[in-house]
Amino acid sequence: MSAPLRTTLRRIVAEHPSVHVLGEAIELSPVTTGLLGTYPDRVHLLPAADATLVGTAVGMALTGAKPIVALSGGPALWGALQQLGQEAASLTGAEYAVPVVVRVPLAPGEQAPLELLASIPGLTVAVAGSAEGAAELLEASLSVRGPVVLLEPAEAMGRKGSGSGVALGRAHKLRDGDHVSLLALGAGVGAAVQAADTLAAQGVSAEVVNLRTLSPLDHDTVGASIRHTGRAVIVGTSLAPLTAAIEAAFLRLESPPRAVKSNVEAIVSAAQSAITY
């Protein structure tokens, strides 16, 4: 399930001398195991607090490095919010570049403060919808001048997919539809595709969009989808980060937008309710 991400990370480290990898459990992760022995000068095993890991990476980035930090999970983000917001994101601008990538694996059912992260100006928040998607997002993150948080939900990492071929910050439309838009993030992507199959058997044409990044949000693709179908079901996140895009398409809405968890039955039910509203 982690093979595409592991392969991409190893290639990135091999091809880019400025890339450093930091973490407290490097040899325990299937994505990073073996890197320390191969690149001892650029892979750093640091048994430190999450804030210290990210703060160290910010300092390295300011001196020209491109650090990739591996945190232990979603709860670890709470300890690093100050470093991500007040240091990395706020310093990024015309004068400084702080290209820090923070990888965060999420165990099944584990939550991350998505809405809070998306509200931090200058912070890119990406969520993988498949193992291949995670690898693509990681590589794309290296070209960003500011900090990037890449969330890797276990449910999504176990799903096979293909690269989107679109730039970071752009959504990827997986399926065309006419009756309802399923706007999905992370683990919600696979569930939305399954729900679309179920709905199709009932005569409902569902458009499926993998949001990929919550900040920046692809307002053009989200708005176009909502205006086309007139109905929106948000999967895997709340309505809050999509409020502006939804408001821009308000006059074309035929029912109130709904937000549901990454559950096929819940998605199908919400889509049916939106159509019969």
List all residues 6 or more positions away from 38 whose beta carbon is below 8 Å from its beta carbon.
Answer: none
What's the distance, CA 93 to chain centroid?
22
Do the Cβ atoms of 195 and 271 come closer than 8 Å? Answer: yes
- pLDDT one-digit tens code per residue, 11-28: 999 999 999 999 998 988
Strands 66-70 and 43-45: unpaired
Amino acid at 18: S
Residue 142 has pLDDT above 90, yes or no: yes
Give me the mean pLDDT over the 249-254 stretch.
Answer: 94
Angle, CA 122 vertex, CA 104 and CA 174 arms, to 5°: 60
Average pLDDT of every residue of the chain: 93
Residue 254 has pLDDT above 70, yes or no: yes
- pLDDT one-digit tens code per residue, 220-229: 999 999 999 9
Q: Which residue has the tokens 């399926």?
A: 175
Give me the mean pLDDT over the 191-201 stretch.
Answer: 98
Which token pair is 187?
Answer: 């683990």
Cβ atoms < 10 Å from Cβ of 183:
28
Residue 63 has pLDDT above 90, yes or no: yes
- pLDDT one-digit tens code per residue, 75-130: 999 999 999 988 888 888 767 899 999 999 999 988 889 999 999 999 999 999 99
Q: Where are the beta strands (DSSP E) in 176-231?
A: 180-184, 206-210, 213-215
In angstroms and rounded to an integer, the radius of gyration of the C-alpha atoms of the chain is 19
| Whole-number pLDDT of residue 154 | 92
Q: Which residue has the tokens 């400084």?
A: 96
Per residue, the 3-state secondary structure of 155-173, as one string, reads: HHHCCCCCCCCCCCCCCEE
Sign of the Cα pseudo-torsion (96, 215, 186, 51, in order): positive
The C-alpha atoms of residue 264 and residue 149 are separated, in whole angstroms, by: 27
The C-alpha atoms of residue 71 and residue 75 are separated, in whole angstroms, by: 9
- pLDDT one-digit tens code per residue, 29-48: 999 999 999 999 999 999 88
What's the distance, CA 51 to chain centroid?
21
* DSSP element (H, E) containing 53: helix 50-62
Torsion of CA 264, 270, 275, 277, to 10 degrees: 160
The C-alpha atoms of residue 193 and residue 4 are separated, in whole angstroms, by: 21
The C-alpha atoms of residue 213 and residue 222 are separated, in whole angstroms, by: 12
Residue 164 has pLDDT above 70, yes or no: no
Domains of the chain: 3-157 (3.40.50.970), 172-276 (3.40.50.920)
Name the pTM for this structure: 0.94
